[in-house]
């Protein structure tokens, strides 16, 4: 219960920090994204194929994020959300980058880990066959063919990285990128929001200079 409560609180803080307090209701969905990616990588330890090693799965998840980008953009910016296309028409084509970025990043990392593990298994099985003087064609007929000494000793450490650590990192990255895309669509460009802050700072500096100048003049008059 403590671990579950800590996890829920951590994801809630992440959602509130990126999106704001009004969007705490997004916490279950963000947790779902993270756990779906993590569990789909963990089941590879049981001999199953990771769910995220299929491009259709990662593409479907990226499309949901992409649709929500337009939802938050149109809801909070109205038609100003399309203003960027007037200043830079190239953005019409780059608007689909989140779909490719999210889907291929997750798909590529999971598939790359599976390919690396498969290559290690093939190398170590062939190595064991050469040490015992058995050709690859007859290895499957031996009673110990399903037990490879080298892979049993070495590859569990790689499974910890590619199936546990990599699944954890990819789930966290996918969740964070989803929230950042939604926050940018909701709030608009960061550069425009920083202009009032810069103007406010320059006004404060001018007021300070005027006060210092008046203080100096008052000292001169007293002297």
Q: What is the pLDDT of residues 146-191, one digit of tens each?
A: 567 777 788 888 888 888 899 999 999 999 999 999 998 888 753 3
pLDDT at 198: 41
Residue 136's pLDDT is what?
54
Q: Is the pLDDT of residue 4 over 70?
A: yes
Q: Does the pLDDT value for residue 75 go beyond 50?
A: yes
DSSP letter assigned to residue 88: -
Residues present in the chain in total: 223
**Which run of H or E residues covers position 131?**
helix 97-131
- Cβ–Cβ < 8 Å for 98, 69: yes
Q: Report the range of poorest mean pLDDT among 96-110, 141-155, 196-210.
A: 196-210
Task: Tell me how far apart the alpha carbons of residues 31 and 7 are, in angstroms, rounded to a whole number.
Answer: 9
Mean pLDDT on 77-105:
80
Residue-level pLDDT at 146 = 57
The predicted pLDDT at position 62 comes to: 94
Tell me the pTM: 0.73
What 8-state DSSP symbol labels residue 146? T
Residue 185 is predicted with a pLDDT of 87
Predicted confidence at residue 145, as pLDDT, reads: 54
Average pLDDT over residues 5-24: 92
Query: Over pLDDT 90: what percentage of the chain?
Result: 36
The band of 144, judged by pLDDT with boundaries at 50, 70 and 90, is low
Q: What's the pLDDT score for residue 141?
A: 56
Predicted confidence at residue 74, as pLDDT, reads 85
Instruction: Give me the helices (H) in the chain, please.
Output: 2-19, 27-42, 55-77, 83-87, 91-94, 97-131, 149-159, 166-187, 190-222
> What average pLDDT does the structure give for the chain?
79
Model pLDDT, residue 48: 86
């Amino acid at each position: 219960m403590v671990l579950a409560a800590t996890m829920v609180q951590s994801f809630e803080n992440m959602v509130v920090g990126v999106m704001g307090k009004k969007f705490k209701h997004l916490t279950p969905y963000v947790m779902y994204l993270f756990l779906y990616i993590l569990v789909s990588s963990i089941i590879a330890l049981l001999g199953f194929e990771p769910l995220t090693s299929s491009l259709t799965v990662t593409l479907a998840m990226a499309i949901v994020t992409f649709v929500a980008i337009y939802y938050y953009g149109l809801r909070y910016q109205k038609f100003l959300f399309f203003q960027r296309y007037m200043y830079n028409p190239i953005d019409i084509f780059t608007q689909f980058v989140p779909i490719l970025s999210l889907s291929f990043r997750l798909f590529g990392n999971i598939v790359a880990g599976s390919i690396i593990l498969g290559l290690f298994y093939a190398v170590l099985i062939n190595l064991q066959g050469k040490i015992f003087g058995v050709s690859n064609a007859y290895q499957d007929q031996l009673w110990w063919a399903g037990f490879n000494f080298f892979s049993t000793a070495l590859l569990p450490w790689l499974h910890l990285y590619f199936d546990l650590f990599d699944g954890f990192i990819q789930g966290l990255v996918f969740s964070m990128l989803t929230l950042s895309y939604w926050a940018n669509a909701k709030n608009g460009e960061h550069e425009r929001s920083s202009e009032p802050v810069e103007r406010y700072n320059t006004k404060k500096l001018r007021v300070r200079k005027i006060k210092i100048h008046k203080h100096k003049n008052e000292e001169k008059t007293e002297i």
